[in-house]
Amino acid sequence: MRLPGAAALTLLLASPLGAEIRPDERRSDFHQMSPETRAMQTDDTANPGMLAVLDGEALWRAKAGPAGRSCADCHGDARITMRGVAARYPAWNAARGTPVGLAGQIDICRADRQGISAWPAESRERLAVTAYVAHQSRGMPISPPGDPEMAAARERGGRLFTARMGQLDLACAACHDDNWGKRLGGTPIPQAHPVGYPIYRLEWQAVGSLQRRLRNCLSGVRAEPFPYDAPELIELEAFLMQRAAGLPIETPAVRP
Amino acid sequence: MARALVNIPKTARRGDVIEIRTLISHEMETGYRPGPNGVLLPRDIITRFTCTYNGVEVFSAELFPAMSANPYLVFTTVASESGTIALTWTGDNGFSQTETATIEVA
Amino acid sequence: MLVSLSRREVLLAGSAASFVLAVPALASPEEMNEAIRRFTSGAETKAGRVRLDLPPLVENGNAAPLAILVESPMTEADHVRRIAVFNERNPQPNVITAHLGPRSGRASLSTRIRLANSQRITAVAEMSDGSFWSGTADVIVTLAACIEGA
């Protein structure tokens, strides 16, 4: 009864691929949510994602590793030093010769600067510290870095975005470029801008990363999701951030 | 210890009705949900919440599995005197957490 | 595009199936009425004085915002003692039971609840004179589109 009717499908079938979202029409998926879910995000005393931010703040100050150094020991007051950082990730890491996401950069600090192993993907700690760092950029426009190496990564991400995949043979773009604003079953299709990650997703009843969200959409088209931290996921993220350039960061966003 | 977000006005006039907003991290595992292996995950929820004002209970609630994860509760109390407001969540598997806040009543 | 209807339906039927699995035994309206009778010890419940606010359409049943306001002066002589919320489609009819008193100032409560399905939610208030009053709200729950793979 809640399955989408034939109408929703015809809509997906009928639209040709390739129409990018006009710049003046780009907007955060925040605006497609119900007033109640929007209120849950904008009121810090009601936003469950703020629990992760709070958790991250404590971890930021926690001593760790053989030298007993905290993030704060090197980076000081995150409100100042981390302001705007999330808005320009993924970034090119010259030493490693790869693009890294924000969580990946935190892994690097743990490995190289603190001498301890990275927190596992989607662990409470990794999400909390990432949320805390990203929260410092709330309200700042997404500003992807200009390195030529990043341009190449973005291009690969863009190709993935428009490639049909999975048993459903659907491209991300078929939903998010061509049919945003329409409904799939009861759910509005968003433009898919990664403005609020890590997000608190009601479906998860928890905070999760963009990669988890992307993996959900990959399962949605019945494609084998790329493993966490796979280059494809970072490239997709780099592409999506470019596509969302200028939109303000919302971390921690709430999404249905 | 679970993270909790508590919002209580720091100051109030005597007789004001103040709003207390609370959010605590807890999965609120219902006991009705199968785990990856198909076996039901055991129930693990917060079962009780109390608010005391200078030691006197002014609000309490029994919670059931139908409460959302990371329980959110907003209620009111009359600002009667300066002192301490204490919030306690207790539940399955010995869960217990208390947060306190002071209020200045003029 | 060449997407076959049946494949699409397989996808959504698949997510619907895992959703149903998550709530094996649903309560019934009858069980809810039984739970309300236990709460009131069988006393009569009159409709009114209880305002129950739930959005008519909930984006995700894992967290539906709910607000209750009961008409009462909240004085020593005349106040709300308890407010209980019941549902008819979750595995268990009880949601929350709150204890209030004259020191509450106002008989109001906001929270978030889980809804396994579209249904009617009932709130019952017990007054200091021993009377019971109730309010209801109907809510439609939509499912998320792209959920975790099985």
Residues A238-256 pLDDT 10s? 999 999 999 999 999 999 9
Note whether residue C89 is domain-resident: yes
The whole-angstrom distance between B62's CA and the closest CA on chain C is 5
Return the partners of chain B (3 or more C-beta pairs < 8 Å): A, C
Residue-wise pLDDT for A119-146, tens only, equals 999 999 999 999 999 999 999 999 999 9
Are C101 and C79 contacting, i.e. CB atoms less than 8 angstroms apart? yes
| Whether residue A14 has pLDDT greater than 60 | no
Note whether residue C149 is domain-resident: no
Distance CA C121, CA C113 (A): 10
Task: Sketch the domain layout of chain A as residue ranges.
Answer: 38-256
Distance CA A16, CA C75 (A): 65
For residues A172-193, average pLDDT: 91
Angle at C74 between CA C77 and CA C41, to 5 degrees: 75
Give the model's pLDDT for residue A158: 97
Element (H, E) at C68: strand C64-70
Give the model's pLDDT for residue A2: 32
CATH tag, A38-256: 1.10.760.10
Distance CA A157, CA A152 (A): 9
For residues A156-175, average pLDDT: 94
Q: ipTM strictly over 0.90?
A: yes
Query: In chain A, whose CA is at the least distance from the CA of B25?
Result: A51
Distance CA A16, CA A5 (A): 20
> Average pLDDT over chain A, rounded to whole?
92
Determine which of B45-59, C79-93, C122-136 has the lowest per-residue pLDDT on average.
Answer: C79-93
Tell me which residue in C90, C102, C106 faces B66 most closely, judged by beta carbons. C90
Confidence tier at C70 by pLDDT (50, 70, 90): very high
How many domains does chain C divide into?
1
Confidence tier at A7 by pLDDT (50, 70, 90): very low
Give the model's pLDDT for residue C10: 31
Tell me which residue in A13, A169, A184 faces C145 most closely, judged by beta carbons. A184
**CATH number of domain containing B16:** 2.60.40.10
- With CB atoms and an 8 Å threshold, state whether A50 touches B5: yes
Residue-wise pLDDT for A203-221, tens only, equals 999 999 999 999 999 998 8
Note whether residue B37 is domain-resident: no
**CATH number of domain containing C89:** 2.60.40.2470
How many domains does chain B divide into?
1
Give the model's pLDDT for residue A183: 85
Q: Measured between beta carbons, which residues in chain B are less than 8 angstroms from residue A45?
A: 5, 7, 21, 23
Note whether residue B68 is domain-resident: yes
Give the model's pLDDT for residue C25: 61
Selecting among A71, A74, A109, A217, the annotated active-site residue is: A217
The overall longest dimension of chain A from CA atoms, in Å, is 62
Give the model's pLDDT for residue A57: 98
Residue C111 CB coordination number (10 Å):
24
Can you name the residues that pair with C109 across neighbouring β-strands?
Answer: C68
Of C76, C106, C122, C148, which to mutate for an interface test with B (greatest number of B Cβ within 10 Å)? C106
* Cα separations in angstroms, A13 against A8, A171, C1, C66: 9, 12, 5, 38
Are B90 and B62 contacting, i.e. CB atoms less than 8 angstroms apart? no
Give the model's pLDDT for residue A15: 52
Angle at A23 between CA C59 and CA A197, to 5 degrees: 45
For residues C22-43, average pLDDT: 82
Confidence tier at C144 by pLDDT (50, 70, 90): low
For residues C126-143, average pLDDT: 94
| AA letter at C9 | E
Give the model's pLDDT for residue A87: 98
190-219 in A: which are within 8 Å (CB) of B?
205-206
Query: In chain C, whose CA is at the least distance from the CA of B34?
Result: C22
Q: Does C78 touch chain A (CB under 8 A)?
A: no
Give the model's pLDDT for residue A17: 54
Which residues, in sequence order, are CB contacts of C53 under 8 Å at separation 6+?
A: C66, C67, C68, C69, C137
Full residue range of the structural domain in which residue C91 is found: 26-141
Confidence tier at A231 by pLDDT (50, 70, 90): very high
**Terminal-to-terminal C-alpha distance of chain C:** 26
Give the model's pLDDT for residue C3: 28
- With CB atoms and an 8 Å threshold, state whether A203 touches C147: yes
Angle at B83 between CA B77 and CA B84, to 5 degrees: 75
Give the model's pLDDT for residue C18: 34
Q: Does B97 touch chain A (CB under 8 A)?
A: no
Tell me which residue in B3, B7, B28 faces A51 most closely, judged by beta carbons. B3
- With CB atoms and an 8 Å threshold, state whether C146 touches A219: yes
Give the model's pLDDT for residue C90: 83
Give the model's pLDDT for residue C146: 63
Cβ burial of A98 (10 Å; 0-12, 13-18, 19+) is middle
Angle between helix A6-14 and helix C5-21 axes, rounded to 10 deg:
130
Confidence tier at C150 by pLDDT (50, 70, 90): very low
Are C118 and C102 contacting, i.e. CB atoms less than 8 angstroms apart? no
- With CB atoms and an 8 Å threshold, state whether B67 touches C92: no
Residue-wise pLDDT for A18-58, tens only, equals 578 888 899 999 999 999 999 999 999 999 999 999 999 99
DSSP annotation of A218 reads H
Full residue range of the structural domain in which residue B91 is found: 3-29+43-105
- With CB atoms and an 8 Å threshold, state whether A48 touches B7: no
Cβ burial of C29 (10 Å; 0-12, 13-18, 19+) is middle
Give the model's pLDDT for residue C148: 66
Note whether residue B34 is domain-resident: no
Note whether residue C84 is domain-resident: yes
DSSP assignment of A23-64: GGG---GGGGS-HHHHHHHH-TTT-THHHHHHHHHHHHH--B
Give the model's pLDDT for residue C149: 53
Give the model's pLDDT for residue C30: 87
A74 is known as an active-site residue? no
Q: Does B72 touch chain C (CB under 8 A)?
A: yes
Q: Does B77 touch chain C (CB under 8 A)?
A: yes
Q: Does C12 touch chain A (CB under 8 A)?
A: yes
The ranges of chain B with pLDDT < 70 are none
| Whether residue C15 has pLDDT greater than 50 | no
Give the model's pLDDT for residue A28: 96
- With CB atoms and an 8 Å threshold, state whether A203 touches C60: yes
Are A95 and A153 contacting, i.e. CB atoms less than 8 angstroms apart? no
Which residues, in sequence order, are CB contacts of A21 under 8 Å at separation 6+?
A: A177, A180, A191, A243
Note whether residue B25 is domain-resident: yes
